[in-house]
Every structure is written in structure tokens, then in C-alpha cells.
Structure 1
Amino acid sequence: MTKILYLHGFASSADSTKAKVIKSFVKKNTSSTKILIPNLDNNIKRAYQQIEEIIKTESPSSIIGSSLGGFFGIYFAEKYDLLCVNINPAIPPIDMSEYLGENQNYSTGEKFVIDQDQLDWLGLMNKKIKNLKKHKNFMTMVQSGDEVLDYKLAIEYFSGSQIDITFGGDHSFEYFESHIQKIRNFLNMH
């Protein structure tokens, strides 16, 4: 049984559109692949600990990460030598100081606080993955119309990795369903 860990973005949830699309695809089109889609904690440090625990208990062979989930995907794929597909990922050095204070989860409506301790934690993660070491483990999918993150920075960071660029689109990654087969091929999902 192949296990894939899906990591949603900042202030999102396991109920996000991409998470549902991937879950549905795996259920309908694979027989020996299990997709793990946790609701990550809104607290960055607790989300990190949650992902670490899932990796230790479930032993996934790969990660799919979106936005901040992509940043976490980079970190844990490098740490544990896992395959990783990133969708419009946040890349180091990530700066989330604009979110300092109270925020609201777009998906659940839950209010939460980002404090300096969490930003310092991200700073430590930034240093550990400043430069990608295992380029072959990554496939990155970006859309040039991403209004949140600069896709050109992702192309530069993932230079030497497999990169799929769609011109246009947005941060939510328009027409995601039409890209699932590429993910399936890269992760060798059965």
C-alpha cells in the first residue's frame, strides 16, 4: 500500500477543493494507494509537529503540498527523502509577518493567532531548506497568474527538478483536475 500525505495551505482545511479532487481521484482510480489528508493546525509550530507525527506513524512515501503545505512538503521531503509534488508552493525564505496577530481560517471560519514564536519557527525551517538538495524528488506545478506567490521564484528555487508551468490561472490552481494524471505518473500511484 502506497501512502501519500496531502498538506493543505495556510488557513485552509482538509475540505479544500484540491484535497477533495485528489481524494476522489485516488478512490476512483487507484487500488493500492491511500491518501492521508489531515486538517492541519492553524498554529504553524503545532502543524509542523502534527506532520512530523503523521510521517512517523504512517510512513508515507510521498507528499503533495499546496501553498504553505508546499513549504512543509519541501521541508519534510528533504528531511525524510520522500517524493513531493508542490502546487503553487510557498518557498524559502518564507515571510509571514503580515499575518502576525489574529487571522481567520478561510475554510472553517475559525479564528486563530500567529505570534512571533511561530514566525521564528518558520525562520529556522527557512535556514534548513534554503537550498534544495534532492532535486529529483520534486515535481512543482505553478500557474503564472498566482496572485499570492511569485511563480518565477518557485521556478528558480526548483531549478533542476521537474517543473510544470501553466500560463494564467491563479493561486487556487485553476483546472487542477486536468493535472492529476501528471501527479499520478510522478508519484507512481496504482
Structure 2
Amino acid sequence: MNILFLHGLESPLTIDKKNILEKYGNVFAPDLNYKSNPNMIQFLYDEYQNQSIDVIIGSSMGGFAGFYLSKLLKLPALLFNPALPYHATEQNIPNTEIVHQHLIQFVLGLQDETIKAEDNLSYILNFVPRANDIRIHLLKDLAHRIPITVFESEVNLFFKK
């Protein structure tokens, strides 16, 4: 299995989290500069469309990019506090009117002050087609940063689907 991990703004994948993901397959974790590339989603699509990626995992801005990339590549996705309703950098979104049947699992922290869970929920309810297989995990004590224990638990749940 090939896993594409998309980090948030200036927060690359840690060794501990990479080790968790490597239990499930090969991990691709590109170093992304969202601020300097307003076409990051298209760039990622062009880069990975022929690389046999099986799953996309993203956090914050990487969750934003991962959401749209999962639609373009028709892949399941695990998204931690994705910046769907707003994002810190300008990003062009390619035509993603695509609806796929793969799982999209959202992990939203109710203590997140950076990306409010209620804003993400509103976005999901209004803009994610009901044809998608969607799971939403609301974690009452989770803030924006994802502790290793939460990361491991959610990754395990995702892969057990």
C-alpha cells in the first residue's frame, strides 16, 4: 500500500507519525510550501496521479489539499482538522465536481481555535456530496495539533474500515 501524507503549513511529518503510517505501507511525505505555490493541488495531482497511491492522509492545510486531491484521484482520505472552510494561503482548486464512493474520514477537534470544528462541519454538510462514504469523528479534547496517541488511534480506525 502507498500512503501519501500531506502536512500542514510549516509542520512536516514527524518520525513518530511516519513510523505509525509505515505499519500500513510505504509513505510518501513531500515537503510542501503552500505559500509559494497557489496551484499545490494541481501540482500534487500531476506528481502522484501515476504513482499508485492508495490513500491520502492530511492535516490542516494538508487536509484541505488532501480533500480535493482525493476527489481528483478517487481515493480514500483521512483528514485531521482540514482547513476546508478557510485556509491561510491562496490556493487554486481544480475542477473537482467528481464524486467518488471512497471513504473520507474527518477528525475534528472541538478545542481547535485555528480551524473551528463547527465551521468544518458546516462546510462538510453543505459541500460534500452525500454520495461519499463519510465518517466524522468529533473529539471533545482535541485542539489543532494532533497528539501521537490520537493520530495512532485514528489511523488504526481508518485502516480497519
TM tier relative to shorter chain: 0.7 to 0.9
Q: Which residue of 2 aligns with 1:55?
A: 48
Structure-to-structure mapping, 1:28-177, within 5 angstroms: 29-30=23-24, 33-42=25-34, 43-45=36-38, 47-92=40-85, 94-96=86-88, 119=90, 122=91, 124-125=92-93, 128=95, 133-134=99-100, 136-159=102-125, 160=130, 161-174=134-147, 175-176=149-150, 177=152
Q: Which runs of 4+ in 1 moved over 4 A?
A: none
Identity between Structure 1 and Structure 2 (%): 23
Structure 1 residue 35: Cα displacement: 1.2
Q: Which residue of 2 aligns with 1:183?
A: 158
Asked if the contact 2:107/2:136 (under 8 Å) is kept, the reply is: yes
Q: Which residue of 1 aligns with 2:9?
A: 10
Identify the range of structure 1 (149-158 vs 79-88) with the bigger mean alpha-carbon deviation: 149-158
Q: Which residue of 2 aligns with 1:115?
A: none
Q: Which runs of 5+ in 2 are unaligned?
A: none
Q: Which residue of 1 aligns with 2:17?
A: 22
Structure 1 residue 147: Cα displacement: 1.4
Larger Rg: 1
User: Helix, strand or coil: the match of 1:72?
Assistant: helix
Residues 80-138 of structure 1 show CA distances to partners (whole Å, capped at 9, x for unaligned) of 2111110010104x343xx6xxxxxxxxxxxxxxxxxxx2xx2x41x845x88447430
Q: State the alpha-carbon separation in 2 of the partners of residues 163 and 132 from structure 1.
A: 20
User: Helix, strand or coil: the match of 1:181?
Assistant: helix
Q: Which runs of 5+ in 1 are unaligned?
A: 100-118
- Greater share of residues in helix: 1
- Count of matched residue pairs: 151
Q: CA RMSD in A?
A: 2.6
TM-score by length of 1: 0.68
Equivalent position amino acid for 1:81 in 2: K
Residues 38-69 of structure 1 show CA distances to partners (whole Å, capped at 9, x for unaligned) of 11134233643542233134220210010000
TM-score by length of 2: 0.78
The change in CA–CA distance for 1:56 and 1:128 in structure 2 (over 3 A counts) is: closer
